Structures are given as structure tokens and as C-alpha cells.
């Protein structure tokens, strides 16, 4: 029995059709059949019930399908990590991040890395659900930046800095710093913000903000993409609440008003990380200064 035979079995177990499975595995139907028969003989277990028209998993086959699926997934993760460790300083690391750091911290961080580790390549991912914890545990990312801490015994976290939360309004908007004592006056304004129903940390922060100031916002557009939000605010379509990092984008016709709220930035990586390059990357991240 070998890994390739198990992969053949899993494809057939999902397709339950020899012809389609053979196409997916790029071998003939007869070769696929021989591989499955060989696996059954070695295990001394019947994996499929077959007739001229149908292929069906036996109970033993269904059990092995579930177990082998997890096994192959874990092996793939191990192999990906081994490859990254082998690549070393001239290899590649994966970084996941929230969009709010793409104008300020992230470019500065990448510039530092490019200066000090010029042979290192970067793979950047902005996950829409911001589930950086799963990405780390699945070895799909090596470094994860997020706005909240990750509580997991297999993950290390480091708080890098805090920054202000701001109102982003069109330049000629009536709201000014002197209005901060009566934020509930914004209840009739049109908001362009992340969906408050979402499970992200920033959506949670927004819910707390509106609850604190005792009003429900009139949301006309929901978006998680700060660059798009800034452009819509600049066009006068509404106002928004964003980390002050977006101010560095220097979007014309947008004014930022700092609120009495802060948001943190954390860096996460796997504990007992064997890739020594990651440790250097962590050290460089701590040296990056963020402008407000």
C-alpha cells in the first residue's frame, strides 16, 4: 500500500464512478481498477460493491474514506511545511493580513524584509473571513496579522501596536472634532462600513461603538475593503469608521476625525516553528514604526 493508492481510493470514493475517477487521476479505468483491487487484497477488506452500472462504498470503505481523508490532509500539511523549512532564507513565506494594514504597516514591513532578506519571497493573503487561526494550523500561512489576539496553545501571539479609530467623512462634512461630545447626532447619517452581522473583530468593535453611543446606524453600503470605502466617502455617498492607518492613503476629499477608541495589531505564528527564517521575520516586524 502506498499514498498514491490511497489517493486513488479517495477519488473513487468521492466520485463513485470509474470512468470519471480515471479521468481525474489521468490513468486508464483498467489501471485504476487494478490499483483498487491491489489495495483491497493488501488490506483484506472489500472497499466497494460493484456491478455493471453502480459503484458503492461498503461500510468498511466509508470508514476508511473518513480516516484517509484526514490522514492525507495532514500529510499534505507536513510536506508543505517541510518544503518551506528546506527552502530557508531563499525560499518563500506566506503572510495573511487584514486589509486595514495594507496602507501603512504592511508596506513598511515588507520594505524592511526586502532590505534585510532580499532573496526571500512573500505570498500575501487577505482572507475575507479573517480566520487566521485556521490558516496557521493548516500550514496555509506562516505569519498572520490580525486585530485581535488568538488564544490557542499551538500559536504564539505578539502585540505590535495600537492605533486610533477614526470617522472618515467628506472634507466639507458638518461633523468636526468639536462635535465628538455628541456622537449620537450621527444617527441620521448614511454609513459605509463592514456588515455588523459579521464575526470579524472589527465588526464586533463597531457593534460596541454604536451600542455605547445609543444609536443604530443607517448602513447604505456594506464593504470590508477600506480602499473602496474611502473612494465612496470621497464621492459624498456616506461616512465611515476606519483605523487611522487609512489616512496614509491620502484620498482626496476625505477628512479623518480621531475617536476615543483604539484598535490593536497582533502578529501570530506557530509555536515550535522549525523554519528559522520565521524567527528573523518576527524580529523585523517588531522594528517597524507606524506613522499616525
The fold of the 87-161+266-287 domain, in CATH, is D-Maltodextrin-Binding Protein; domain 2 (3.40.190)
User: Residue 76 has what pLDDT?
Assistant: 84
| Per-residue pLDDT band at 190 (split at 50, 70, 90) | very high
Average of per-residue pLDDT values in the chain: 87
Segment 87-114 shows an average pLDDT of 84
Phi, psi (5° rounding) for residue 163? Answer: -145, 165
- Answer for the pair 11, 21: CB distance below 8 angstroms, yes or no: yes
SS3 for the chain is CCHHHHHHHHHHHHHCCHHHHHHHHCCCHHHHHHHHHHHHHHHCCCCEEECCCCEEECHHHHHHHHHHHHHHHHHHHHHHHHHHHHHHHHCEEEEECCHHHCCCHHHHHHHHHHHHCCCCEEEEECCCCCCHHHHHHCCCCCEEEECCCCCCCCEEEEEEEEEEEEEEEECCCCCCHHHHHHHHHHHHCEEEECCCCCCCHHHHHHHHHHHHCCCCCEEEEECCCHHHHHHHHHCCCCEEEEEHHHHHHCCCCEEEEEEEEEEEEEEEEECCCCCHHHHHHHHHHHHCCCCC
Q: Is the pLDDT of residue 264 over 60?
A: yes
Within 10 angstroms of residue 195's Cβ, the number of other Cβ atoms is 13
Q: Is the pLDDT of residue 11 over 80?
A: yes
Q: Do the two domains 3-86 and 87-161+266-287 of this chain adopt the same fold?
A: no
Distances (CA, A) of 267 to 46, 123, 247: 49, 16, 22
CATH 3.40.190.10 fits 162-262, yes or no: yes
Q: Give 78-88 pLDDT, tens digit per residue.
A: 887 777 666 55
Distances (CA, A) of 136 to 141, 150, 175, 190, 262: 5, 11, 42, 37, 26
The domain segmentation of the chain, as residue ranges, is: 3-86, 87-161+266-287, 162-262
Q: Does pTM top 0.75 for this prediction?
A: no
Contacts of 93 (CB under 8 A, 6+ apart): 84, 120, 121, 122, 123, 142, 143, 275, 277, 278, 281
d(CA 291, CA 247): 10
Of 164, 161, 163, the C-alpha closest to 257 is 164
SS3 for 50-62 is ECCCCEEECHHHH
The fold of the 3-86 domain, in CATH, is Arc Repressor Mutant, subunit A (1.10.10)
User: Residue 255 has what pLDDT?
Assistant: 94
In sequence order, what are the beta bridge partners of 55? 50
Ramachandran region of residue 283, left (φ > 0), alpha (ψ -120 to 50) or beta? alpha
Q: Give 125-173 pLDDT, tens digit per residue.
A: 988 666 888 889 988 899 999 988 899 999 999 999 999 999 999 999 9
Amino acid at each position: 500500500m502506498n499514498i498514491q493508492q490511497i489517493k486513488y481510493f479517495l477519488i473513487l470514493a468521492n466520485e463513485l464512478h470509474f470512468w470519471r475517477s480515471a479521468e481525474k487521476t489521468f490513468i486508464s479505468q483498467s489501471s485504476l481498477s487494478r490499483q483498487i483491487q491491489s489495495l483491497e487484497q493488501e488490506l483484506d477488506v472489500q472497499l466497494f460493491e460493484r456491478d455493471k452500472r453502480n459503484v458503492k462504498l461498503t461500510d468498511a470503505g466509508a470508514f476508511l474514506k473518513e480516516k484517509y481523508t484526514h490522514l492525507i490532509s495532514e500529510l499534505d500539511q507536513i510536506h508543505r511545511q517541510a518544503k518551506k523549512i528546506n527552502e530557508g532564507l531563499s525560499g518563500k513565506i506566506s503572510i495573511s493580513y487584514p486589509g486595514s494594514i495594507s496602507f501603512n504597516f504592511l508596506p513598511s514591513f515588507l520594505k524592511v524584509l526586502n532590505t534585510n532578506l532580499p532573496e526571500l519571497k512573500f505570498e500575501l493573503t487577505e482572507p475575507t473571513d479573517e480566520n487566521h487561526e485556521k490558516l496557521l494550523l493548516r500550514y496555509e500561512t506562516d505569519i498572520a496579522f490580525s486585530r485581535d489576539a488568538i488564544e490557542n496553545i499551538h500559536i504564539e501571539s505578539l502585540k505590535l501596536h495600537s492605533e486610533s479609530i477614526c470617522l472618515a467623512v467628506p472634507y466639507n462634512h458638518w461633523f468636526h472634532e468639536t462635535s465628538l461630545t455628541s456622537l449620537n447626532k450621527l444617527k441620521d447619517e448614511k454609513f459605509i462600513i463592514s456588515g455588523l452581522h459579521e464575526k470579524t473583530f472589527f465588526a464586533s468593535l463597531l457593534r460596541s461603538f454604536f451600542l455605547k453611543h445609543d444609536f443604530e446606524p443607517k448602513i447604505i453600503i456594506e464593504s470590508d475593503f477600506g480602499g473602496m470605502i474611502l473612494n465612496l466617502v470621497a464621492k459624498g455617498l456616506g461616512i465611515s469608521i476606519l483605523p487611522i492607518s487609512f489616512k496614509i492613503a491620502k484620498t482626496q476629499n476625505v477628512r479623518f476625525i480621531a475617536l476615543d477608541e483604539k484598535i490593536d495589531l497582533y502578529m501570530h505564528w506557530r509555536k515550535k516553528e522549525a523554519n528559522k527564517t520565521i524567527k528573523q521575520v518576527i524580529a523585523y516586524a517588531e522594528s517597524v514604526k507606524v506613522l499616525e
